[in-house]
Structure 1
Amino acid sequence: MKKIIYSLLFVLICSIGVKAQTLDRSIRPEAAPAKEVNIKDAQIFTLKNGLKVFLVEDKNTPLVYYSLQLDVKQELQGEKAGMNGLFSDVFGTATKNRTKEQLNKDIDMIAMRGGVHRGGGYAYFLKKYHDKALDIMTDMLFNPVFSQEEFDLNIGKYKTALNTLGDDAGQITNRMANALIYGKGYPAGEVETLETLDNITLADLEGYYNTYFAPNVARLVIVGDISLKEAKKQAEKYFGKWTKKNVPVAEYTIPTAPEQLKVAFANKPGAVQSAIDVCYPIQFNVKEADYDAASVMSQILGGSGTGHLFMNLREDKSWTYGIYTSLASGEQVGSMSLTSGRGAASVKAAATDSAVFEVLKEFKRIINEPVTEQELKDAVTYRAGNFSRSLADSETMAQFAVNIDKYNLPKDYYRNYLKRLEALTPADIQAAAKKYIKPENAWIVVTGDKQYADALARFAGDGKVQWYDYDVNPIETPKAEAANVSAEEIIANYVKALGGQEAIEKVNDYKIVGEMDMMGQTGTVEQYFKKPNMSVTSMSMQGMVIQKMAFDGTTLRVSGLQGSQELTEGKEFDAIKSGVGLAPEMTYLQNGYTLTVGAVEEVNGEKAYTLKVERDGNATTEYYSVASGLKLRSVQTIQSAMGEMQTVSDVGDYREVNGVKFPYEMTQSVMGQAMKTVVKTVEVNTGLQDSVFK
């Protein structure tokens, strides 16, 4: 499975992930005409077991929404970090009364939306299915079966994600930022690793459920066409027998911002972009008197495609495809950070230090310069429009009821929201900026190629760059290690490691069939090859071909979800023609590639030679094990409609078939999404017919 799979993977990700694309934040919503909002007060009652119930009646909808929210402060996960997420994935997949299949069938039968997780659960359904829906919801909540099969399945996915962590600079920066903002001794700062995952058992999940799921630490919110009398009846019927218990309350050390600006860097060799964040903890939640002013301030600074950061770094400098601020509230502590809309903000690698300089400049600007009346008006209009539209969402109404109770807010807090927005002044925004924007007390967190690290030292209060591994452990400054080997020697060692040129040349044809797993979906990958250069590679899911590339030596035929085409020339055609076969690396020089040896880098804990392979403006960086000679990784830069990005392919578990080694595992990632392929069969010299490649 060679380079041809890269483009197939990109198409697959785009096909599956199209619904996850973010909205165009540069499109400003129209102003809501009303300044007063008619939001009904929640009617509140408490069951004998301590469950507090909130009812928000809405006679204008045939739907009913139930939301159960636990309010607990659990012990730190510590050496079992990752358990909380794993709990949510396993919890509620089956019950004592329903198998996984039956549960899914029952949910589909009434078109219910719902589920359970470590923080509670919810159900959204047509009122005529009231009893059926609550029976399903409470069955998941009160009769869960923690299956070893589900546990093993999900922990395998977690490990796959961690094994591919090094492929995505944004994920690494997010991981580092959380640990540095909050510290590893605070829940939001804990870091899951392969080691902590190995410490988790099924009994740990059951123990969490038995410890923290109790009615006396929960709120039940009901929104929809239901009277108070009916709500009391249903709450008692389905939740009244839930037994209360003493639930432990953990205490944490509340994180504080650093006393001076600090720089943290993680090395991602060969990265063409750097993922950056400027972040720190803040005391911030809806209880704060300046909560609205701070939210509007963040909107102006970096809340949309018209924010200061976006206009500077993207529109003016063209260093990034998106950069925004995230002012996040928290019951005990919140945070300020940067985001691209999907993860950490990414900038051109060569502009890393310049981008950080501009971010800090914009932070200082909003502190020192009052925003204009027009900026304030636009931001207020944007937030007012979003707020007004959100009122149609039952989940929003439920959260309003919880917030009013949890934070002891006035009953008319949300009814007066638009009035409070309209009353804001530029002076209010500047005051909020002075309170919450801390350019001198932040972490600058960057993941990128180490050659750009030293330029960041000038920002640090101590003049130093602090280095971290991907598990956010401090490490020594990486030192470049010369390869002291030629490109020809790297290729020769690789060919020898595969079995040698003579054994490779005896392979006249082969067929590889693998099983892929991506974003929770499984499928099949098939690859065929026949001398001299015929190949077919296809990906399919649920019997449907997602993408197929067939090359018969003269014509490249591409078909699948993106349509069909035939190519007889061009860069893609040339790349496929020269990139097929068991070891196309053997003919790099004959096919006009330029090979450049880089430093020795570490790939998945193993030292590897770096080899840059270039032709016709396209570049791939390949990594070959110093110890075994086998290829470990390929990184290819792709120009797409969404900008420049990298595909990363890790290969391993080489096994000998007919005297030649084939990789039996491949993990590839693009745009933060990983696909793992495990080879099931390899057949060599079976006499494949030419018709297979048409």
Structure 2
Amino acid sequence: MKNKFILSIVLSMAFLFTQCTLVPSGSTSKLDRSKAPKAGEARKVEIANSKSFTLDNGLEVFVVENHKIPQVSYSLVVDYDPIMEGKRVGMLNMFGSMLRRGTETRSKEKLDEEIDFMGANLITYSRGVYASSLKRHSDNLLSIFSDVLYNPSFSEEELTKVRNESLSNLQSLPSSPDEIASNVVAKVNYGNNHPYGEVETEATLNTVKNEDLKDFHQTYFRPNVSYLAIVGDITLEEAKKQAEKYFAKWEKKEVPTIKYDAPKTVEKPQVAISNRAGAVQTVINVTYPVFYPLNSDDYVAARLMNGILGNSGFGARLIQNLREDKAYTYGAYSSLNPDDISSSFKMSASVRNEVTDSAVVQFLYELKRIKDEPVTQVELDRVKASAIGSFVRSLESPQTVANFAINIARYDLPSDFYSNYIQKINALTVQDIQNAAKKYIKPENITIVAVGDQSILIEKLAPFGNIQVYDAFGEMAAQADQRILIGMTADKVIQNYIDKIGGKKWNEVTSMEKAQTMSIAGMQMEQKIYVQNQQKVALEVPKMGMKQIYDGKKAYLVMQGNKQELPAEQANSIKEQTFINPYSQYDKSNGYTIELVGAQVVEDKSVFEIKITHKDYGERLQYFDPKTGLLLKEVSPEGEMTIKDYRKVGTTNLLVPYKMEGNSPQGAYKIDVQEVEFNPTIDAKVFIVE
């Protein structure tokens, strides 16, 4: 019997924003709303000055005074070179979390209590610490800040919690095509010997130890590679006193510097596929690595070039082409972000399966067009206005001014980099944009990364280049042994499975009770399931006052005594759970069709892939072990589920799985079955909705 349980209904709201234009009385002029209004003259802006000083230990401090509200923030950036984590990938993220999980004198609970009492914020990450509070609490806040910085406890108990949180997040990966695409992009652009090509796995997370965190802290968290921004209701003299009091004792030490070879690009277009069986959409990324540091002479020109292509809202070419003209997707974008080690260019969209190849054609068309053809003056003027507007709005935050000062120091920028930023934008010509495109746009070096149904993608994307298949973590995927298909049919696979779990003995089962525990989103729910074969089903979560029922005609959700009839789609999903007998789940007379799709790899095994379709219950894929005959995995619109730990029920020879793990829209979950009973007498009241 399938294990589905709808845990929550997510409500969304849409807000409509309207803009009204008043026309003076008597005016006969009409607005042409088919054209965007012309941008006005860019106003001159003044960037507030930051003040700076350096402590004897090398810590550079930048101060931006803003006395509008009595609040101060402190932002510490530790500027070490990217490091290879190797077999401990994930250590840096865990380190950032662990900084906030207690010190030698303060437990996590004590930290939380003190920070909450002040109404303050304190956030840690792998490259620093951010904190803010009212000015009157600033000394207390810095006492905590410096304690976190100098004396993190890295306790085993908290490390276990952080690791489990990371592992839980990792379990949702199979249901997130965008994250899978990100992993594959990292691997194809940077490979295994570059820090930007490393990807977290369960194995690497489990390798991280306390000693790794302590060693990293002692080696890399040093003042002589750090910058501190102090922003808010504070004077330079006050900032100097606080910096001396709380940061002067931070001991300087030489920090390792690391150089990396530039990642190699492919010599001709390639295709990288990651399989999500049964997916109805394809996530496409067209990408390659490129060197594009912030201090590039053409940084501004390249940024606006990318804006015209796909990073300036609805006016961008990719949106206009793939969404407005072709209706392939809701959004298509490009990115080109500066990095002093290595950057990457990327175009991306999620499209319907049937237009995957057509979408790639348009991506390549736009890539070639912006490189080979000058942009129009209208396009350039539009992105100029957008870039200037974004820059001016960013100046409303005093933190921005501090960040500018830190960037100038970190990236060796000219001192007037930001003060002349608007002038640089206004000075750009159409030729400057084309020069940037010719330098940074490389159609010949692309890798087309596609995450979706492999059986569809291989056919759709074969014309674009050599195809390699990757797993969800960006590693080369093992290929199934197609020889297992010789002489097999869908009917044979299903019959082998049913014979293995009990065969015709299932015909003697008319009812079932099951007790199980479901863990999801940090909650554990004790569940009871009652089934009358092909008639009724009820699922109870007693401690939550929740009950889900199909009474033979309709389906209901009962929460704390409130009854709600479920829509037909959900009712059908629940109704299918009345099928105890596995024969019923594949029987053509019950409306099912089954198809042997091919061979796939599941848990390093070559297995049979079967597609099961029903007009009311929808479509799903199931994967069967050719050696044991058992069902190992199921993929449906609700997510993926692995099935394991088959056991005999009581004195019968009927096998059922006692453990299931999977992903759903609500997150990763685990189901542990405690007890199964066949042919019990079930009280009819169980299926009645009061």
RMSD between aligned residues? 3.4
Q: How is 1:154-233 mapped onto 2 (pairs within 5 angstroms)?
A: 154-162=162-170, 165-233=173-241
In the alignment, which residue of structure 1 is the partner of 2:493? 490
SS in 1 for 2:363: helix
Taking a change above 3 Å as real, the CA distance of residues 151 and 377 of structure 1, as seen in their structure-2 partners, is same
**Cα drift, residue 680 of structure 1:** 6.3
Which among 458, 461, 468 is matched to residue 456 of structure 1?
A: 461
SS in 1 for 2:212: helix
In the alignment, which residue of structure 2 is the partner of 1:667? 661
Taking a change above 3 Å as real, the CA distance of residues 550 and 141 of structure 1, as seen in their structure-2 partners, is farther
Taking a change above 3 Å as real, the CA distance of residues 575 and 406 of structure 1, as seen in their structure-2 partners, is closer
In the alignment, which residue of structure 1 is the partner of 2:417? 413
Which among 649, 673, 680 is matched to residue 641 of structure 2?
A: 649
Q: Over residues 166-217 of structure 1, what are the superposed CA-to-partner deviations in whole Å (9 max), with x where a residue is unaligned?
A: 4443322211211221222111112333443343322112211121111111
For the residues of structure 1 that align with 2:435 and 2:177, how far apart are their CA atoms?
34
For the residues of structure 2 that align with 1:271 and 1:253, how far apart are their CA atoms?
37
SS in 1 for 2:405: helix
Amino acid at match of 1:597: L
In the alignment, which residue of structure 1 is the partner of 2:339? 330
For the residues of structure 1 that align with 2:681 and 2:107, how far apart are their CA atoms?
46
Q: Over residues 390-410 of structure 1, what are the superposed CA-to-partner deviations in whole Å (9 max), with x where a residue is unaligned?
A: 333454333222111112334
SS in 2 for 1:245: coil
Amino acid at match of 1:152: T
Amino acid at match of 1:578: E
Amino acid at match of 1:535: V
**Cα drift, residue 607 of structure 1:** 2.9
Amino acid at match of 1:516: S
Q: Over residues 451-495 of structure 1, what are the superposed CA-to-partner deviations in whole Å (9 max), with x where a residue is unaligned?
A: 4325534433xxx32344444444676664526444444334434
Aligned length: 660
Structure 1 window deviating more from structure 2 (223-232 vs 412-421): it is 412-421
**Cα drift, residue 70 of structure 1:** 0.6
Structure 1 window deviating more from structure 2 (531-540 vs 439-448): it is 531-540
In the alignment, which residue of structure 2 is the partner of 1:147? 155
In the alignment, which residue of structure 1 is the partner of 2:317? 308
Pair 1:466-2:475 in alignment = no
For the residues of structure 2 that align with 1:31 and 1:110, how far apart are their CA atoms?
45
Q: Over residues 25-63 of structure 1, what are the superposed CA-to-partner deviations in whole Å (9 max), with x where a residue is unaligned?
A: xxx999798533232222111112221111111122332
For the residues of structure 2 that align with 1:91 and 1:654, how far apart are their CA atoms?
42
Amino acid at match of 1:331: D
Aligned residues of 1:41 and 1:411 also touching (Cα < 8 A): no
**Cα drift, residue 357 of structure 1:** 1.8
In the alignment, which residue of structure 2 is the partner of 1:389? 393
In the alignment, which residue of structure 1 is the partner of 2:597? 598
In the alignment, which residue of structure 2 is the partner of 1:641? none
Q: How is 1:76-475 mapped onto 2 (pairs within 5 angstroms)?
A: 76-162=84-170, 165-303=173-311, 304-339=313-348, 345-448=349-452, 449-453=454-458, 455-460=460-465, 464-474=466-476
Q: TM-score, normalised by structure 2?
A: 0.86
Aligned residues of 1:185 and 1:253 also touching (Cα < 8 A): no
Structure 1 window deviating more from structure 2 (439-448 vs 657-666): it is 657-666
Aligned residues of 1:94 and 1:146 also touching (Cα < 8 A): yes
Q: How is 1:533-612 mapped onto 2 (pairs within 5 angstroms)?
A: 533-537=535-539, 549-558=548-557, 565-567=564-566, 570-583=568-581, 586-589=584-587, 590-612=589-611
Q: How is 1:506-525 mapped onto 2 (pairs within 5 angstroms)?
A: 506=509, 508-518=511-521, 521-524=522-525
For the residues of structure 2 that align with 1:324 and 1:524, how far apart are their CA atoms?
41
Q: TM-score, normalised by structure 1?
A: 0.86
For the residues of structure 2 that align with 1:33 and 1:558, how far apart are their CA atoms?
59
Q: Over residues 121-142 of structure 1, what are the superposed CA-to-partner deviations in whole Å (9 max), with x where a residue is unaligned?
A: 1112222221222222222222
**Cα drift, residue 653 of structure 1:** 3.5
Which among 670, 677, 682 is matched to residue 677 of structure 1?
A: 670
Amino acid at match of 2:432: D
Amino acid at match of 2:245: K
Q: Which runs of no fewer than 5 residues in structure 2 stay unpaired?
A: 18-35
Taking a change above 3 Å as real, the CA distance of residues 564 and 397 of structure 1, as seen in their structure-2 partners, is farther
Aligned residues of 1:37 and 1:416 also touching (Cα < 8 A): no
Amino acid at match of 1:528: I
For the residues of structure 2 that align with 1:264 and 1:145, how far apart are their CA atoms?
43
Taking a change above 3 Å as real, the CA distance of residues 72 and 372 of structure 1, as seen in their structure-2 partners, is same
Taking a change above 3 Å as real, the CA distance of residues 587 and 183 of structure 1, as seen in their structure-2 partners, is closer
For the residues of structure 2 that align with 1:200 and 1:32, how far apart are their CA atoms?
55
Q: Over residues 550-576 of structure 1, what are the superposed CA-to-partner deviations in whole Å (9 max), with x where a residue is unaligned?
A: 222232113669x96415x84443342
* Larger-gyration structure (1/2): 2
Taking a change above 3 Å as real, the CA distance of residues 105 and 411 of structure 1, as seen in their structure-2 partners, is same
Amino acid at match of 2:525: T
For the residues of structure 2 that align with 1:536 and 1:651, how far apart are their CA atoms?
22
SS in 2 for 1:331: strand
**Cα drift, residue 500 of structure 1:** 4.8
For the residues of structure 1 that align with 2:670 and 2:353, how far apart are their CA atoms?
30
Aligned residues of 1:653 and 1:664 also touching (Cα < 8 A): yes
Q: Which runs of no fewer than 5 residues in structure 1 stay unpaired?
A: 340-344, 638-645
Aligned residues of 2:506 and 2:581 also touching (Cα < 8 A): no
For the residues of structure 2 that align with 1:549 and 1:387, how far apart are their CA atoms?
53
For the residues of structure 1 that align with 2:69 and 2:416, how far apart are their CA atoms?
23
SS in 2 for 1:191: coil
Aligned residues of 2:273 and 2:457 also touching (Cα < 8 A): no
Aligned residues of 1:258 and 1:443 also touching (Cα < 8 A): yes
**Cα drift, residue 301 of structure 1:** 0.8
Identity %: 35
For the residues of structure 1 that align with 2:249 and 2:491, how far apart are their CA atoms?
74
**Cα drift, residue 324 of structure 1:** 0.8
Amino acid at match of 1:636: S
Amino acid at match of 2:611: K
For the residues of structure 1 that align with 2:244 and 2:62, how far apart are their CA atoms?
13
SS in 2 for 1:297: helix
Amino acid at match of 1:536: A
Aligned residues of 1:507 and 1:684 also touching (Cα < 8 A): no
**Cα drift, residue 330 of structure 1:** 0.7
For the residues of structure 1 that align with 2:422 and 2:161, how far apart are their CA atoms?
47
SS in 1 for 2:341: coil
